[in-house]
Amino acid sequence: MASISWPILLLLVSGKLYTTSGTIGGHGNLTATFECLPDQASALLRLKQSFSFEYATTTLPSWEDGTDCCRWEGVDCDAATGHVNALNLSKHNLYSYGIDQALFNLTSIQLLDLSMNDFGGSQLPAVGFERLSLLTHLDLSSSGISGQIPISISKLTNLVSLDLSNQYANDNNEISRNRLLLWEPSFKTMVRNFSKMRELYLDGVNISSSGEEWCTALVRYIPRIRVLSLENCGLYGSIHPSFSSLRSLEVINLRLNTMSGAFPQYFADFLNLSVLMLLGSDLNGLFPPKIFELKHLTSLELSGNANLMLKVETLPKGCSLETLALDGTNLSIAKPSSFGNLRFLQALHLDAKVISKELSSSLSTLDSLEELSLSRFVLLNESLFSWIGDIKNLVFLTLEYGDFSRTSNSWIGNLINLEALVILNSFFSAPLPPEIGKLKNLKILSLNNCSLSGNIPAWIANLKQLSYVNLSTNNLSGKVLLVTFLKRLDFTE
């Protein structure tokens, strides 16, 4: 089961209510009439001292004692008072074992973004957040924090957007067990003061809550929520009928939970819905085809729901879908030509068994298509792939369980814009296809467990953009020319 690529997925779920341009969270407010207050500068300097910059993208050089902290990188101040009202240090790869208590002296702060730094697997401070009572936006995502989320965060009654997502992979590419917990306080206790909340991101937080518990809590305490992202949170049981009242929802991400139950038919009545991601959620029943008619829907991901029945009669003209993932479902397509109506489609994931001549003809006309993933070909039966070569703008291509031994692979050489070619668990019974050598923009090449044999070709060294190669679990031999531009090379087994 393939999933949406991270570059595209991040674009789908990171469109938060604030931006990091302009004065808020940028490089300081150059129009401020009051300089930063001494206590504010002192707190920031103490925070800087808590960081290690060994792997950081910045050393915060503007943060110097005796200078106006309102002009420091990532700092914004209230022009009338000189109090710090925004701090954005996201994506700097700063390291500190824990968040320094000095942060909580910035009691006028409204926006705090420390995402994509590394706090060393430490727990959030048990006390301190309650002092930041004016906070409207708090983002601590992907920051290496773990343990129980403190009750103090639930006291931030002005929060509009909260992101505590910390779902990151360990060295084995598995989700780390060192994760955040929302047990005591529970999810219900955490959100009971969040009446102003519009965006909630808790991906990877272990909530372990039944459908009735988390659904009724949202309905009661955050009825006007617009973005809900609870991916891989240990949710279980059916989505409760009360969820149907959350008609302001624009983004729903409930991927990788075990919500065994019928697909909610009322999702088709969420007229503002733009993103619906339910990969691997164990849903069953009949998918309501009216969802395809939602005017704002740009992303629909239902992969891995094996008992979910999708009967696609026709896709409407003017459909705004950009991402569509239906692999691993019980899918039938009555009118394949209607896929030609998906003029904005950028990413498509399907089981190859549904590909017909009519469908492939329609897909090959989609100029906007950049990512294609096909899986579950019928092994040892002839499969035709030539139509893929007609999709000239493809950037990411993933094929799984295909038989490439009985068909020409010349189509591969037509994909001149391809940056990632991933073919898994397939059958070649031959050397690497030389057509791959024509893909001069290729950065990722993975042909794992593909029954490849013969010598590793020298033309790999001519693909100057390659940064990752995986040819493991094949029967390849010969000398390997190690080239300096490769960041990772895997020829094991």
pLDDT digits 0-9 by tens, 212-239: 999 999 999 999 999 999 999 999 999 9
Residue 22 has pLDDT above 60, yes or no: no
pLDDT above 80 for 479: no
The residue length of the chain stands at 493
> The tokens of 142 are what?
């992907």
DSSP letter for 189, please.
Answer: H
Query: Is residue 58's pLDDT more than 80?
Result: yes
The residue-averaged pLDDT of 311-316 equals: 93
pLDDT for residue 490: 59
Q: Which among 87, 101, 100, 84 has a CA at the least distance from the CA of 40?
A: 84
- Residue 144 contacts residue 119 (beta carbons within 8 Å): yes
pLDDT reading at 492 higher than 90: no
Q: How confident is the model at residue 16 (pLDDT cuts 50, 70, 90)?
A: low
What is the CB neighbour count within 10 angstroms for residue 369?
20
Look at residue 399 and give its three-state secondary structure. strand
Q: Rounded CA gap, 381 and 352, in Å?
A: 12
387's tokens: 């139509």
Token pair, residue 424, equals 């898994």
387 or 102, higher pLDDT: 102
Contact present, 405 and 428 (Cβ < 8 Å)? yes
Q: Are 446 and 466 in contact (CB under 8 A)?
A: no
Cα gap 484→185, rounded to integer Å: 51
Of 289, 286, 230, the residue nearest 258 (C-alpha): 230
> Residue 463's pLDDT band (boundaries 50, 70, 90)?
very high
pLDDT digits (tens, 9 = 90+) for 362-410: 999 999 999 999 988 764 444 568 889 999 899 999 999 888 887 788 8
- pLDDT-derived band at 274, boundaries 50, 70, 90: very high
Neighbours of 459 (CB within 10 A): 12
- In terms of Cβ atoms closer than 10 Å to its own Cβ (0-12, 13-18, 19+), residue 65 is exposed
- Residues of the chain with pLDDT > 70: what percent? 86
Which H or E run includes 49?
helix 38-49
Residue 472 Cα distances to 435, 446, 453, 493, angstroms: 20, 8, 11, 6
Between β-strands 75-77 and 84-88, what pairing exists: parallel, antiparallel or unpaired?
Answer: antiparallel
Instruction: Mark 409-418 as b/e (b = at least 16 C-beta within 10 Å).
Output: bebbbbbeeb
Give the mean model confidence (pLDDT) for residues 446-458: 91
Nearest-angstrom CA–CA distance, 201 and 222: 13
Is the pTM value of this prediction over 0.85?
yes
Residue 203's nearest CA partner among 252, 131, 159 is 252
Is the confidence at residue 27, as pLDDT, over 70? no
Give the model's pLDDT for residue 105: 98
Pairing of strands 475-477, 453-455: parallel
Distance of alpha carbon 130 from alpha carbon 107, whole angstroms:
9
* Alpha carbons 178 and 329: distance in angstroms, whole number: 32
Contacts of 387 (CB under 8 A, 6+ apart): 360, 361, 363, 364, 411
Q: How far is Cα 99 from Cα 121, in angstroms, rounded to an integer?
A: 11
